[in-house]
Every structure is written in structure tokens, then in C-alpha cells.
Amino acid sequence: MTRTTSGRLSRPGLAWRVAVTLAVVGLAVNGSVRGNDVQWPFAPMSQFACGVDLDGQIRSTYIEADTTAGTTVRVPLTAGGVGLGRAEVEGQLPRLVADPALLQSIAVAAARRHPGWPRYTKLRLRQEVSDLRGGEVVSTRTERLADWTVVDPTGLR
């Protein structure tokens, strides 16, 4: 530590502390104004929940799968499930809607990570939409975003 004999910081010690503080504050302000999540920790964390308009909508994305056992299940969008979370799926929604074949990788991930599970044969990307009025749910509906018939759930084409 750079201290003088009187216990105060020396000019160089104070100067580098001020410079580091200004750099961190500058990066945080710049990231908050112009940044995105890629620049974290010097950017806003936009994936975190935020306020909802009391007369707006709440959207919850999920994937359903038909299986080789003849059942319909909700795909577990977790690290322990198919290896990616719902937020990651939501971040890729435009791509998944434009190219439903990208859902194939979810069926392959489930087959590889959980060999004992029935294989997925069809995947359906959906959103549950809750309409709000005055902060209360007045209606709920399911929107179809994309469907994909799985080619080879083991991924061994």
C-alpha cells in the first residue's frame, strides 16, 4: 500500500485509485446508455424481469413434445433438462419461428442427455399470453409459434 508516514495516501496512490474508479463508473454509464448483455458487467441486465404495463400482456414461452411413448410432455427448459433455459429460447424466438428446424437440436439434446426418456417425435413452440386490465388477468390464450417434426431424435443421421 502506498501510504506516507502520516497515514494518508500518497499522490500516486490516490491518483491510481481515482483513475480506476472513474474508469469503472465510465464503463458502467456507457454500458447502461449504449450497451447490451454481451458487455456485462458494464451493461444493463435486460434479461432480468421488469415492470409490466397494468393493461399489457405477460408472455410465457414453452415447448411441448409428442413422444415415442404416445404422450405429450412439456420440454424441461432447464440446465438439467435439455441443457438450455427458457430465457435462451426466448432470446432466439425470431430465429426459431423463422426456421423451426432449429428445434431439432432440442430433441437431440434430450435424447443424448436422457437416454431413458421416450424420444421426442414432434415439437411445438408456444407462448401462453395473459392479457391484463388494471393489473388483473382478464384472459389467457396459447399462441402457436412453430412446429417441428423430429427427423432423428438420437441425432445419428
Which of 13-17, 47-51, 69-73, 89-93 is least confident? 47-51
Number of other CB atoms surrounding residue 13 within 10 Å:
14
Q: Are 126 and 61 in contact (CB under 8 A)?
A: yes
Instruction: Judge contact between 104 and 111, C-beta under 8 A.
Output: no
pLDDT tens digits, 94-128: 999 999 999 999 999 999 999 999 999 999 999 99
CB 113 within 8 A of CB 106: no
Segment 1-5 mean pLDDT: 54
pLDDT tier at 1, thresholds 50, 70, 90: low
The reported pLDDT for the residue numbered 42 is 67
- Inter-residue contact 123 to 64 (CB < 8 Å): yes
C-alpha cell at 40: 456485462
Helices (H), the chain: 11-34, 86-91, 93-98, 104-113
pLDDT number for residue 36: 65
Q: Within 10 Å of residue 3's Cβ, how many Cβ atoms? A: 10
Tens of pLDDT along 13-27? Answer: 899 999 999 988 888
Model-level pTM? Answer: 0.67
Q: What is the mean pLDDT of residues 26-45?
A: 71
Give residue limits of the domains in the chain: 1-48, 57-149
